[in-house]
A and B are shown apart, each in its own frame.
Chain A
Amino acid sequence: MKSGVPGFRGPYLTEAIECRGLSSASLADLLGISRSAVSHYETGLHTPSPEVFEKICKTLNLPPSFFTRPSFPVSQEVVFFRSMNPAMKVPQRKALRRLEWLQAITGYVRAYVELHDLDFPKFSSFKDPIEISDSEIESCALRLRAAWGIGSGPVGNLVRILENNGFIVAYDDFDSTMDGVSCFDDEGIPFIIVSRSSWAAQAREDLAYALGHLILHRYVEKSRFGINRDFAILRRQAFRFAAAFLMPEESFCLDVYAHTLDALRLQKAKWKVPIGLMVRRLQDLDLIDAEQAKKLWINRSRRGWRTEEPLDHDIPKEECRLLAESIKLMVDESAQSKSELLYALPLSDRDIETLTGLPTGYISDSMPVVSIIPPEKRTAPSRSNSGDKGQLISFPTRNAPTKEKRRKIN
């Protein structure tokens, strides 16, 4: 083995690559080294020279201590995603790594701060998803609302309710295809991370969906999540729970005076849930049949509400504050300094700030980093504000040269 940076651990390079949503090849290109070299670093066959190591740290925006640290504890519990599509593996790996980082940060904070105990009623430990009936799901949702004192109306600040009842909630910069991830850690603390780029109502749906998995499927065997047929059932159950939790049958039905998109749009302001979830709820409750639901889905797409629904801009995003408040308390009460925090958590200050909800620049006392909004989430200015709109000009279509043409060119 060639000499390089002492204590460098290859698997952490893989972790960092996954966490940044990169591949080994793309990192090699960014570093200007061969792909096999990166592969050797990952497997531990070689360790990078100090110069290359510095470049790696800079490119991946991680401190050197990240690659030489002791391992973070990894939960053995099942991790819940919204999709088990093989195409989602890369974003899922990234989400999983970020979840591990969040667990590490929480573990560190818990050593100093007494976080809230987990508070929810004891539910049946379902091992087989087929055991869980729809009425059971409805009853679980109602029991949870009762235990948390939500009543029968719209759920207020869902993030706050979860945090106050012992959940660790975070937003993260996931890919547009990734909605969220959730799991229990080995100590039984539930973690939920949802995409930062989701609209507020969608984020509430994602949180309630994750809550559904955590409550209903904690004891379901891990292997069942890999079977498409079973996962479809698990997913449907989590959605049913989310809808039942956010919109209890009794009160929601009284509010929806007509089964039209316009009537549902008016209810969105009150219930703060996506219109799509309301359509699903109406169908779950047999208030509309499959044909009516299909019409609503088609009309929803036709109105362009799949990517952005009305009122999405108007509903304020619920902020995660538990970890941020805890860290601020540690610093303010001089239990830990910011530098000690960075030393104990070998992550970049930006990562810690993102996952805990701390204001940008809090840890490093630096100026906020200006980040570029991903193109798919850029929002068009509202009609009332747009003074003069540019004209959209489509790219001229150019046919790719055929094989014969290529031969001629060559």
Chain B
Amino acid sequence: MESREESAVNQFYESVPKQLLRDLFVSVLTNYQQADKFTKENYPWQEGLPIRGYKRRADIEVDIRAVAAKYFNDGAKAEAEPNCTGGWYHTVLRVGEVAMVASKVRNRKSMVNKSLFMHKLAADNAQIEFSFVRTKKKVVRIDRPAPKLTAVLVHGYKKGDKSRPDFVLIRFPDEECKNWIGTIDLFAVFREVLVNFYAKPMVAADRIKAVRLRKNVIKKESEGEGA
């Protein structure tokens, strides 16, 4: 019998095309780089410090929707949904039986911040796939058809270099959204992408092939130049 983690990972891969996952991964790498570049180019570091995170988050959310649009024919759909207070939005990507949101965390062991929408999604998750686990909290019912698996794209920056993530993971929360029950490490899955992304661009030979005088050309004694 497969473990909870295996079950979640297998179910995830059944619904989400690997190419979509790859595009999301590239988008995260790109947006880390771009947000850092943007703030460094436009603001003194003091002002840029808080802006970087907001810019990165906004761009990642926009890109999740753009990537979903690219895989529309595979059933991917992403929408920005308001949170319970209506003052903040989060993008939920739905593909097949998976619902996924993105979140930045402090380190790879961290749990996502407390948020009602994640609790709701995680609760839905538990109702169906992990129903054998005893739920401690009352499950919140939501109107839309519940996905069978909830995933969170978690990422966090590298210490000392905020232009690149230290980890990008797909993680599956438990029914109370307090622990992770499964993980896909995108750095390991897309190692080649990662290497190519940060590889220094190959500098094509800018050197011109040497030209030489024809053999039969007679060189003259040096004479005064000038038109």
Which chain A positions have C-beta within 8 A of B23? 257-258
Pairwise interchain contact A339-B206, C-beta atoms closer than 8 A: no
A30 at the interface (CB under 8 A from B): no
Alpha-carbon distance between A118 and B62 when the two chains are bound, in angstroms: 48
Quick one: which of B26, B203, B213 has the most chain A CB within 10 A? Answer: B213
What string of 1s and 0s marks CB contacts (under 8 Å) between B175-209 and chain A? Answer: 00000000000000000010000000111111111
A277 at the interface (CB under 8 A from B): no
The verdict on A259 contacting B66 (CB below 8 Å), with A153-B202, A335-B220 known, is: yes
Pairwise interchain contact B201-A154, C-beta atoms closer than 8 A: yes
The verdict on A349 contacting B227 (CB below 8 Å), with A257-B23, A334-B219 known, is: yes
Which chain A positions have C-beta within 8 A of B226? 338-339, 365
The verdict on A160 contacting B219 (CB below 8 Å), with A113-B211, A258-B63, A342-B227 known, is: no
Pairwise interchain contact B208-A266, C-beta atoms closer than 8 A: no
Find A335's partner among B24, B67, B219 (CB 8 Å cutoff): B219
Which chain B positions have C-beta within 8 A of A186? none
The interface-forming segment of A89-97, A176-184, A318-326 is A318-326
Pairwise interchain contact B213-A114, C-beta atoms closer than 8 A: yes
B18 at the interface (CB under 8 A from A): no
Min CB distance B221 to A, Å, is 7
Residues of B21-57 contacting chain A, CB below 8 A: 22-24, 26-27, 30, 34, 42
Alpha-carbon distance between A155 and B99 when the two chains are bound, in angstroms: 40
Find A164's partner among B27, B42, B208, B214 (CB 8 Å cutoff): B208
Pairwise interchain contact B217-A112, C-beta atoms closer than 8 A: yes
Which chain A positions have C-beta within 8 A of B217? 112, 335
Alpha-carbon distance between A122 and B62 when the two chains are bound, in angstroms: 47
Pairwise interchain contact B63-A160, C-beta atoms closer than 8 A: no
Pairwise interchain contact A257-B204, C-beta atoms closer than 8 A: no
B212 at the interface (CB under 8 A from A): yes
What string of 1s and 0s marks CB contacts (under 8 Å) between B60-76 and chain A? Answer: 00110011011000000
Pairwise interchain contact A335-B63, C-beta atoms closer than 8 A: no
B223 at the interface (CB under 8 A from A): yes
Pairwise interchain contact B69-A259, C-beta atoms closer than 8 A: yes
The verdict on A322 contacting B211 (CB below 8 Å), with A160-B205, A257-B27, A257-B30 known, is: yes
Pairwise interchain contact B211-A160, C-beta atoms closer than 8 A: no
Pairwise interchain contact A156-B206, C-beta atoms closer than 8 A: yes
Alpha-carbon distance between A163 and B222 when the two chains are bound, in angstroms: 30
Alpha-carbon distance between A115 and B212 when the two chains are bound, in angstroms: 8
Which bracket fits the contact residues of A? 35 or more
Alpha-carbon distance between A330 and B219 when the two chains are bound, in angstroms: 9
A228 at the interface (CB under 8 A from B): no
Residues of A332-349 contacting chain B, CB below 8 A: 333-335, 337-339, 342, 349
Alpha-carbon distance between A335 and B24 when the two chains are bound, in angstroms: 61
Which chain A positions have C-beta within 8 A of B209? 116, 163-164
Which chain A positions have C-beta within 8 A of B201? 153-154, 270
Which chain B positions have C-beta within 8 A of A339? 225-227
Min CB distance B164 to A, Å, is 15
A161 at the interface (CB under 8 A from B): yes
Pairwise interchain contact A163-B208, C-beta atoms closer than 8 A: yes
The verdict on A334 contacting B208 (CB below 8 Å), with A258-B66, A266-B30 known, is: no
Alpha-carbon distance between A186 and B218 when the two chains are bound, in angstroms: 27
What string of 1s and 0s marks CB contacts (under 8 Å) between A154-175 and chain B? Answer: 1111001101100000000000
Pairwise interchain contact B206-A334, C-beta atoms closer than 8 A: no
What string of 1s and 0s marks CB contacts (under 8 Å) between A259-270 and chain B? Answer: 110110010001
Min CB distance B119 to A, Å, is 29
A144 at the interface (CB under 8 A from B): no
Which chain B positions have C-beta within 8 A of A342? 227
Which single residue of chain A is at the shortest CB-CB distance from B207?
A: A160
Which chain B positions have C-beta within 8 A of A334? 219-223
Find B63's partner among A151, A263, A365 (CB 8 Å cutoff): A263
A331 at the interface (CB under 8 A from B): yes
Which single residue of chain B is at the shortest CB-CB distance from A340?
A: B220
Find B212's partner among A157, A254, A329 (CB 8 Å cutoff): A329
Pairwise interchain contact A331-B225, C-beta atoms closer than 8 A: yes
Which chain B positions have C-beta within 8 A of A113? 211-214
Min CB distance B224 to A, Å, is 8
Alpha-carbon distance between A254 and B203 when the two chains are bound, in angstroms: 20
Pairwise interchain contact A333-B30, C-beta atoms closer than 8 A: no
Which single residue of chain B is at the shortest CB-CB distance from A265?
A: B34
The verdict on A338 contacting B225 (CB below 8 Å), with A151-B202, A259-B66, A262-B62 known, is: yes
10 A–B contacts, CB within 8 A, in A order? A113-B211, A156-B204, A160-B206, A258-B67, A259-B70, A329-B213, A334-B223, A337-B223, A363-B227, A365-B227
Known pairs A257-B30, A263-B66; list 19 more (Cβ under 8 Å): A114-B211, A114-B212, A114-B214, A160-B208, A164-B205, A257-B27, A258-B63, A258-B66, A262-B59, A263-B27, A270-B201, A322-B211, A325-B208, A337-B225, A338-B227, A339-B226, A339-B227, A365-B225, A384-B42
Closest 6 CB pairs of A and B: A156-B204, A258-B66, A257-B23, A257-B26, A364-B227, A260-B66
- List chain A positions with a Cβ less than 8 A from chain B: 111-116, 150-151, 153-157, 160-161, 163-164, 254-255, 257-260, 262-263, 266, 270, 321-322, 325-326, 329-331, 333-335, 337-339, 342, 349, 363-365, 384
